Amino acid sequence: MSDPKKLFIKTYGCQMNVYDSERMAEALGGQGYVETQSVEDADMILLNTCHIREKAAEKVYSELGRFKGLKAAKPDLKIGVAGCVAQAEGEEIMRRQPLVDLVVGPQSYHRLPELEAKARAGEKALDTDFPEEDKFEKLKSRPKAKRGPTAFLTVQEGCDKFCAFCVVPYTRGAEVSRPADRILREANELVERGVREITLLGQNVNAYHGAGPNGDMTLAGLIWELDKIDGLERIRFTTSHPNDMSDDLIEAHGTCAKLMPYLHLPVQAGSDKILKRMNRSHTAESYLRLIERIRAARPDILMSGDFIVGFPEETEADFQATLDLVEEVRYGYAYSFKYSTRPGTPAAERAQVDPAEADDRLQRLQAVITRHQREIQDSMVGREVSVLFEKPGRLPGQMVGKSEYLHAVHVQDPGLEAGQIARVRIVASGPNSLAGELA
Ligand code: SAM
Ligand code: SF4
C-alpha cells in the first residue's frame, strides 16, 4: 500500500470555518489523505479563509506567497483556497497567485474529492457555486475514531439580514437550516466518539428553523432534543442575533441544565443612529431590555458581544453611546473591531471615519471591555464552578478545561483525565485563565 498523502489545513476566521475544516479533512480522507501539522510535509495545502475584514483577506495572499519555495521544491504539491475569500474572489485568486491549483467556496466542500482529482491531473479546479444539493448530506459520513471532549456542529448557514457592513450574506449565501434529524444523528455520533460538549454553530444560529417531525423546529426545540442524549453534558450555541432571541430560547436558559450560562449576542454599537445605518433593526434600548429578560431567566449568565467602531458617520457622541452600553451590560468577553470597508456592501460607499480616530476609539473601547472582563474573572475567585477538562496543561500533572462560563481553568491533579467534568474551587485569577482545586 502506498503511503498516505499528507494534508495541511490552515483555518482563519470563525468557528464555522473550524467545523468546515474538519469536514473537509474528512472528505479528503476518502482520497487517501491524512492530516499533518507540518506544512513542509504536505502534499496538499488548504487555506480555509475569512473575508470578514480586509486584513483577513490580505493575510491569505501573503501566506500564499510564502509557499513559492515549497512548490518549487515539490512540484506535486497542490495548493487550495477554501472559505469566504475563495467565494468572494473566485478565479481572481488564481490570476493573482498562479501557485493556486484549487479554489472551493463554502457551499461546495462535498465536491472536494472531484476537485482534488482534477488538480492532481494538472488542471486548475474551481467551484464557487451555491449548488441545489445539501452539502452536509453529500459529505462523507464522519469517521468513528475517538476525539476530544468538545465539538462544533453547524446547524444553520448563511444570513438574510444584510447588515450594511457585512459580507456574510454574499459569501455564505441565504439563510438555510439543516433538518433536525441529521443534526441529532451527527450529535449522537459525536457523543459516541467521546464528545461531552457541543457548540451549535450558525451565522444566525438563533434564527434556526430546521425541519422537524412536527414542522419546523426552533433552536430551543433542537436544544431540548439534544438535552435527551445521554453522555452529552453541555450545550452551547453561537452566534445569535438580538432580533431572533425568542421567548422559548430565553426560557431554555433558565430551565435546561445542559445549556451553559454563556451567550454571545453581538450588538455592534450603542448609538441608535449608527444601528439604523448598520441596518441592525434593533435599538440600544431594545437590546438592553432583552438582556434584562435573559438575566431574569438565568441570573448568572455571562454575556459576550461584538462591536464595530469607526463605522461611517460615527461621531464621538455615537461612540460614547457604545461605551455607555458596554458599561451597562458588563461583558465577560467581547470582540471589537475597527470598521473595515468591504467592497460591494452598502456602507463601503459612505463617508469614512478618520482611521486615526477609529484606532483611538478602538483602544478606548478595548480598555473598558478588558477592565470588565478582568473584574468578572477575578470575581470567580472563591467560587465553585464546574469544569470540563480538555487537555493537559503546560506543567506536569496539570489539566486545563473550561468552566460553564467559558473561562479557561487550570487544575493541578495527576488523576484528572480529558473529558472529565468536576467541581472546582477557584483559587486565583491570571490574565487569561483561572487556577482552581478540585472541590
Ligand atoms: N452574525 C453575527 C452578528 O450578527 O453579529 C456576526 C457574524 S460576523 C462573522 C462576526 C463579527 O465581525 C460581527 O459581529 C462584526 O462585529 C464583525 N464584522 C463584520 N463585518 C465587519 C466589517 N466590515 N468591519 C469590521 N468588523 C466586521
Ligand atoms: Fe453579517 Fe451577522 Fe449582520 Fe448577518 S446578521 S449580515 S452575519 S453581521
As beta bridge partners, residue 80 has 46, 102
Cα of 163 from ligand 2 centre, angstroms: 5
Please state the atom number of ligand 1 nearest to the C-alpha of residue 50. Answer: 9
Q: What is the DSSP letter of 394?
A: S
> CB neighbours (10 Å) of residue 163?
21
Cα of 284 from ligand 2 centre, angstroms: 17
When pLDDT is cut at 50, 70 and 90, the band that residue 35 belongs to is very high
Cβ atoms 253, 240 nearer than 8 A? no
* Residue 30 three-state SS: coil
CA dihedral 362, 366, 367, 370 (to 10 degrees): 180
Average pLDDT over residues 174-203: 96
166 close to ligand 2 (CB < 6 Angstrom): yes
Please state the atom number of ligand 1 nearest to the C-alpha of residue 166. Answer: 20
pLDDT at 37 over 80: yes
Cα of 157 from ligand 2 centre, angstroms: 11
Cα of 175 from ligand 2 centre, angstroms: 11
304 close to ligand 1 (CB < 6 Angstrom): no
Cα of 266 from ligand 2 centre, angstroms: 10
Residues 117 and 128: their CA atoms lie apart, in Å, by 17
Cα of 64 from ligand 1 centre, angstroms: 25
pLDDT per residue over 158-172, tens digit each?
Answer: 999 999 999 999 999
pLDDT per residue over 195-221, tens digit each?
Answer: 999 999 999 999 999 999 999 999 999
Q: How much is the mean pLDDT over the chain?
A: 95
In this structure, the strands spanning 384-392 and 421-429 are antiparallel
Nearest C-alpha neighbor of 117 from the set 42, 211, 40, 31: 31
List, in sequence order, the alpha helices (H) in 271-348.
Answer: 272-277, 284-297, 316-329
Please state the atom number of ligand 2 nearest to the C-alpha of residue 160. Answer: 4
* Residue 435 three-state SS: strand
pLDDT at 139 over 90: no
pLDDT at 265 over 80: yes
Q: Which residues of 54-71 are buried (b: 16+ CB within 10 A; e: fewer)?
A: eebbebbbebbeebeebb
When pLDDT is cut at 50, 70 and 90, the band that residue 273 belongs to is very high
Cα of 166 from ligand 1 centre, angstroms: 6
When pLDDT is cut at 50, 70 and 90, the band that residue 30 belongs to is confident
- What predicted TM-score, i.e. pTM, was given to this entire model? 0.95
Nearest CA residue ID for atom 13, ligand 1: 306
Phi first, then psi: what are they for 407, rounded to 5°?
-75, 140
> CB neighbours (10 Å) of residue 412?
15
Nearest CA residue ID for atom 5, ligand 2: 161
Q: What pLDDT score was predicted for residue 1? A: 56
Query: How far apart, in Å, are the Cα atoms of 32 and each of 7, 42, 80, 125?
Result: 10, 13, 17, 19
Please state the atom number of ligand 1 nearest to the C-alpha of residue 345. Answer: 23
Considering Cα of 336, then 339, then 344, then 345, what sign does the dihedral take? Answer: positive
From 157, 162, 172, 274, the mutation candidate for ligand 2 (largest count of ligand atoms within 8 A of CB) is 162
As beta bridge partners, residue 199 has 152, 236
Please state the atom number of ligand 2 nearest to the C-alpha of residue 167. Answer: 1
pLDDT per residue over 409-431, tens digit each?
Answer: 999 998 999 999 999 999 999 98
Edge-to-edge strands, sheet with 102-104: 33-35, 5-11, 44-49, 78-82, 102-104, 125-127
Residues 115 and 398: their CA atoms lie apart, in Å, by 44
202 close to ligand 1 (CB < 6 Angstrom): no
Average pLDDT over residues 113-136: 90
Cα of 245 from ligand 2 centre, angstroms: 15
Residues 7 and 429: their CA atoms lie apart, in Å, by 39
Least distant ligand from the CA of 163: 2
Average pLDDT over residues 333-341: 96
12 close to ligand 1 (CB < 6 Angstrom): no
163 close to ligand 2 (CB < 6 Angstrom): yes
To which H or E segment does residue 338 belong? Answer: strand 333-338
Nearest C-alpha neighbor of 191 from the set 236, 238, 160, 233: 233
Cβ atoms 219, 249 nearer than 8 A? yes
Cα of 159 from ligand 2 centre, angstroms: 6
Chain centroid to CA 16:
5
CA dihedral 144, 147, 152, 153 (to 10 degrees): 10
205 close to ligand 1 (CB < 6 Angstrom): no
240 close to ligand 1 (CB < 6 Angstrom): no
Instruction: Look at the block and give the residue holding cell 488542471.
Output: 123
Q: What pLDDT score was predicted for residue 274? A: 98
353 close to ligand 1 (CB < 6 Angstrom): no
From 162, 263, 337, the mutation candidate for ligand 1 (largest count of ligand atoms within 8 A of CB) is 337
pLDDT at 132 over 80: no
pLDDT per residue over 390-410, tens digit each?
Answer: 999 999 999 999 999 999 999
pLDDT per residue over 64-113, tens digit each?
Answer: 999 999 999 999 999 999 999 999 999 999 999 999 999 999 999 999 99
From 50, 51, 163, the mutation candidate for ligand 2 (largest count of ligand atoms within 8 A of CB) is 163
Q: What pLDDT score was predicted for residue 203? A: 95
Cβ atoms 205, 159 nearer than 8 A? no
Cα of 29 from ligand 1 centre, angstroms: 32
Using a pLDDT cut of 90, give the percent of the chain over it. 92
340 close to ligand 1 (CB < 6 Angstrom): yes
